[in-house]
Structure 1
């Protein structure tokens, strides 16, 4: 098993009027190229910041991010955008941030595939439990359906890895369960998934749990 993503000694600082705030510091983690990796921890532990760094959305203040064993965090913004588009699918906590609300479900899948230079496969809607809903516009879908559509769009892009930030935090148990089933579909199709969440429902799904606290990996709590 190889690593699709890795962070080595990564730290992120934010300037504030009161001084510098360190969101994460000295974090070294890997995301294997199979299964589900869960970054768990309370709010403010730094797990979402780490996910954005791994997704090449946020440049670390220090340390190195590797994609497929190659250091990439020091590359230009333009090159990082190209790498994200080609290899990484990032899901935000609010599903509407992942979708185009003015389009139908099917049109969202097509747009996602085209953004990565892929050919759209609308049969994927059935794979994530949205069969027959291709003509529904995004606002007509429930929160759980929107998250599953976002996962469908991620699958349509054929990424090397999917990163999801709190994908179940705004959902009831039934909707969250359906989203977890959809995450399993991604893994079954050979797409590794990394999730940042404080939702204990995700622990049963995870193949590996990395616990974070106060911006650091909680030593001895990687399982």
Structure 2
């Protein structure tokens, strides 16, 4: 399967090299693309020095914008599968073959921490459970780890994500694609590590705002978006 790993990176100079080197040593035959999301540190310099393939966004678009830049690249280069992958070392490349295998028989494969394990008693996990309930209510599907950032998309989904509006790599987009395209979603059990270094897209305030925004979007806003028939326009 012709796969592209998309790595959005914002101020990840302390972790990007170790993340990519581990990726290369684990899955050397899989293509990857770093999307530098307007970093102000040495992220681009490290990419240049090591010869890593990258897109250099001139301003910070946020995770959704950076990912969509990568997904447009995947679409234009006719990849069969695109995998969203963190630059901070949290996602483990050992699970990439499992995601590739899963995507052979589904549209979206999510690397899930909670297929076989329960969520801990934290505010963040409470928010995850609320989003899980909202997706279940609106689609009838249970996604145990809706906020996981380790997701694989097949060619059909790559096209929708590349050509559609407001198609960020978020739980509300996954929920919408289930409803609008009858997308088949499976969860692949994974383990994740702690962030190695660098600057997260989220702090506790933005995380709380994110959980609320996702829940409202899934329950209300996505119903105003039309059902997609056939290929994306």
Q: Same fold (TM over 0.5)?
A: no
Bucket of the pairwise TM-score, normalised by the shorter protein: under 0.3
Higher strand fraction (1 or 2): 1
Q: What TM-score do the two structures reach when normalised by structure 1?
A: 0.25
Higher helix fraction (1 or 2): 2
Q: What TM-score do the two structures reach when normalised by structure 2?
A: 0.24
